[in-house]
């Protein structure tokens, strides 16, 4: 059965389409909405998106595979984006990555069998003054040490288990309180 967008996604798409002079320009936002809803972007979803923004599935495929954040296969609920670029490398970014790999028993690019975690080795994530660092969903984890990583992984796993109990289907990335923006990470104003 070909997939359909939920009513909520349709509403988001309507709003997005109204912001551009043509439909094709809404392709990236619509792909984000599709990935939010379906978790990843297999062929049937690509066809649905193509129909929605009025371009060919081949064009959508080309775009999906160009950008690293669009996934053709299912990723874990918690996507750990671990930076190993130069600023993080100088401060032990690879040690952090290898520690996470060991802890979770998977390599970068892989997903744990329970679907709780995916590890992504990331390029610079613009938090260089707080290296080494990683992102999970909307949460930044800065100035990492192996000990900090252990606590973070335990915390994320506990939250994931609780989510599983409430809705076994799973959802997006980590949750966050966005408005608790205190004086800042790495900001020495």
The half-sphere exposure of 26 on its side-chain side, counting CA atoms within 13 A, is 22
Element (H, E) at 80: strand 78-83
Closer residue to another protein, CB minimum distance, 105 or 126:
126
- Residues in 46-65 at the binding interface with another protein, rule: CB under 8 A: 53, 55, 59, 62-63
Identify the H or E element spanning 89. Answer: helix 86-90
- Fill in the per-residue mask, 135 to 164: x = in contact with another protein (CB under 8 A), - = not in contact: x-xxxx------------------------
Among 2, 7, 21, 109, binds another protein (CB under 8 A): 21
By CB under 8 A, the residues from 97 to 116 that bind another protein are: none
Measured between alpha carbons, how far is 46 from 3 in angstroms, rounded to an integer?
A: 10
17 in contact with another protein (CB under 8 A) = no
Q: How far apart are CA 138 and CA 7, in angstroms?
A: 24
3-state secondary structure of 26: helix
Q: Could you count the other beta carbons within 10 Å of the beta carbon of residue 154? A: 11
- Selected from 92, 124, 163, 170, the binder of another protein by CB under 8 A is 124
Chain positions contacting another protein, by CB under 8 A: 19-22, 24-29, 31-32, 53, 55, 59, 62-63, 66-70, 81, 84-87, 89-91, 122-131, 135, 137-140, 173, 176, 178-179, 181-189
């Amino acid at each position: 059965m070909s997939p359909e967008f939920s009513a909520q996604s349709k509403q988001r798409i309507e709003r997005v389409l109204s912001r551009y002079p043509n439909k094709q320009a809404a392709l990236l936002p619509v792909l984000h909405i599709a990935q939010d809803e379906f978790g990843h972007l297999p062929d049937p979803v690509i066809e649905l998106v193509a129909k929605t923004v009025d371009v060919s599935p081949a064009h959508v495929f080309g775009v999906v595979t160009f950008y690293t954040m669009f996934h053709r296969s299912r990723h874990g609920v918690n996507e750990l984006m671990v930076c190993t670029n130069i600023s993080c490398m100088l401060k032990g970014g690879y040690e952090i990555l290898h520690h996470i790999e060991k802890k979770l028993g998977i390599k970068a690019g892989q997903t744990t069998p329970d679907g709780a975690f995916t590890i992504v080795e990331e390029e610079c994530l613009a938090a260089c003054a707080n290296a080494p660092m990683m992102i999970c969903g909307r949460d930044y984890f800065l100035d990492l040490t192996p000990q900090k990583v252990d606590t973070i992984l335990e915390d994320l796993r506990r939250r994931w288990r609780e989510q599983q109990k409430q809705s076994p289907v799973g959802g997006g990335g980590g949750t966050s309180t966005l408005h608790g923006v205190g004086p800042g990470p790495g900001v020495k104003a």
